[in-house]
């Protein structure tokens, strides 16, 4: 434990950093502060001072509040509680919703400027749902304490916080979430409310060996149905799948799209974005969706069966692209949609796409820093950022979704 740990200081909060954390300074040292808003003066308690370059701290009292501060949308996460007792998962819930989007815009634009040396601007667009950004989660994972109590983790630790409400949950999820029940023998409980089939409460054990029994659900996007496993990946916000379908369709430069080229949907899950491409460009569209989860690719094959040129491959994306290079496949003229996990695609995948000659990339990103890093790699390979859109798919949290179009002439 460092000598400053537990010390309380008054600080002025000047900026927002990635991860929903605000930035303050004390005697020239950077302090990363939770539960504050740029422009505020707050009393903080130092929680970590082991790093020479910065400290971490919790807000314990707001001395001069931002005009953008609001009562927290989740009472159990409020700054009125001791920091260790604040529920995690709604770390922007104390900020007025329009200003949340402005802070997300700043993080995205600043990250791209810093890491990719690109000047860009973007509006973080709201999507369909309650105006205060509650009631959107179709999937919710809660954790089980040693005594069987259910709740979210504390925002600072793996301590389970008992709660009486789950305000970010969609109404059906909130209705069936068993907050008062005890779950001994489980480590977590998932609540899933699909748009096209029954809702589920599933107790799980993270320590269990093997894969749990598969259970198929249906999600509906527009006129189309997608089948997937109840534990499989699907966008969490009830309007997100439709928003991203439209965003990817709009992001493709049709003058550069060749339906007969070796078009790709990488990290494709159960085929949502491959179907978006097929629906935009018609039944002759060739597209290969690639996903490492074999259960998801089984579902993708089924979900994409109406396109003769569609196929689903189970593979890690980096290895799949290496295989294309070894077999002499060219992606010249092709459009590549990629929706990587939070860590982003990374240098190896970007290098392979450039080597293979992909003409147009539509990059769907849930992490602005990973996107900015990868835009830097792409820029070095001669790709230019043609357009960038951002969507508030995770209101009342720090997360933001971006869709970038990159082309190489």
List residues with catalytic annotation: 366
Q: How many CA atoms lie within 13 A of 372 on its CB side?
A: 19
Is 235 annotated to bind a ligand? Reply is yes
Helix (H, G, I), strand (E, B) or coil at 102: helix
Sheet containing 139-144: order of strands: 150-151, 139-144, 188-192, 200-204
Is 45 annotated to bind a ligand? Reply is no
Residues in the chain: 409
Using left for φ > 0, alpha for ψ between -120 and 50, and beta otherwise, residue 183 falls in beta
Please spell the DSSP secondary structure of 142-210, one letter per residue. Answer: EEE-TTS-EEPBBTTSS-B---S--TTB-HHHHHH--TTS--TT-SEEEEE--SSS--EEEEE-TT--S
Crossing angle (nearest 10°) for helices 368-380 and 97-116: 30
| Sequence-distant (≥ 6) Cβ neighbours of residue 289 within 8 angstroms | 264, 265, 268, 271, 274, 297, 300, 304, 310, 311, 312, 313
Nearest to residue 241, comparing CAs of 270, 215, 267?
270
| Alpha-carbon gap, residue 159 to 99, rounded angstroms | 30
Is 339 annotated to bind a ligand? Reply is yes
Q: With 0-12 CB in 10 A as exposed, 13-18 as middle and 19+ as buried, what is 158?
A: exposed
Crossing angle (nearest 10°) for helices 317-326 and 347-356: 30
CA dihedral 112, 336, 397, 1 (to 10 degrees): -70
Nearest to residue 45, comparing CAs of 79, 75, 71, 93?
79
Using left for φ > 0, alpha for ψ between -120 and 50, and beta otherwise, residue 405 falls in beta
Annotated binding residues? 235, 267, 291, 339
Annotated binding residues for S-adenosyl-L-methionine? 235, 267, 291, 339
């Amino acid at each position: 434990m460092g000598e400053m740990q537990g010390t309380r200081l008054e600080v002025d909060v000047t900026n927002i950093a990635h991860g929903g954390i605000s930035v303050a300074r004390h005697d020239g040292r950077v302090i990363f502060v939770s539960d504050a808003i740029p422009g505020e003066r707050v009393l903080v308690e130092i929680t970590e001072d082991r790093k020479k370059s910065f400290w971490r701290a919790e807000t314990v009292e707001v001395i001069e509040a931002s005009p953008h501060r609001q009562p927290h949308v989740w009472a159990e996460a409020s700054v009125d509680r001791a920091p260790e007792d604040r529920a995690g998962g709604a770390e922007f819930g104390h900020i007025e919703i329009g200003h949340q989007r402005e802070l997300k815009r700043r993080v995205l634009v600043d990250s791209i400027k810093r890491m990719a040396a690109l000047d860009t601007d973007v509006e973080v667009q709201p999507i369909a749902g309650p105006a205060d950004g509650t009631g959107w989660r179709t999937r919710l994972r809660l954790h089980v304490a040693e005594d069987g109590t259910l709740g979210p983790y504390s925002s600072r630790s793996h301590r389970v916080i008992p709660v009486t409400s789950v305000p970010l949950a969609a109404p059906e999820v909130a209705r069936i979430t068993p907050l008062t029940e005890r779950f001994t023998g489980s480590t977590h409980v998932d609540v899933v409310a699909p748009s096209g089939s029954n809702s589920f409460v599933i107790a799980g054990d993270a320590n269990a060996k093997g894969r749990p029994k598969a259970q198929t659900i249906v999600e509906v996007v527009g006129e189309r149905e997608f089948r997937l496993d109840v534990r499989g990946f699907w966008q969490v916000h009830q309007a997100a799948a439709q928003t991203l379908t439209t965003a990817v369709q709009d992001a493709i430069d049709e003058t550069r799209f060749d339906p007969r080229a070796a078009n790709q949907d990488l990290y494709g899950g159960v085929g949502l974005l491959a179907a978006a491409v097929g629906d935009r460009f018609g039944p002759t569209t060739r597209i290969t969706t690639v996903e490492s989860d074999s259960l998801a690719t089984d579902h993708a094959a089924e979900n994409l069966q109406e396109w003769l040129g569609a196929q689903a491959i189970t593979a890690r994306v980096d290895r799949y692209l290496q295989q294309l290079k070894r077999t002499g496949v060219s992606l010249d003229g092709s459009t590549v949609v990629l929706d990587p996990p939070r860590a982003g695609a990374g240098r190896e995948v970007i290098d392979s796409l450039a080597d293979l000659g992909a003409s147009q990339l539509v990059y769907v990103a849930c992490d602005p820093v990973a996107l900015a890093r990868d835009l830097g790699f792409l820029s070095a390979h001669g790709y230019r950022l043609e357009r960038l859109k951002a969507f508030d798919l995770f209101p009342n949290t720090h997360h933001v979704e971006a869709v970038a179009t990159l082309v190489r002439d």
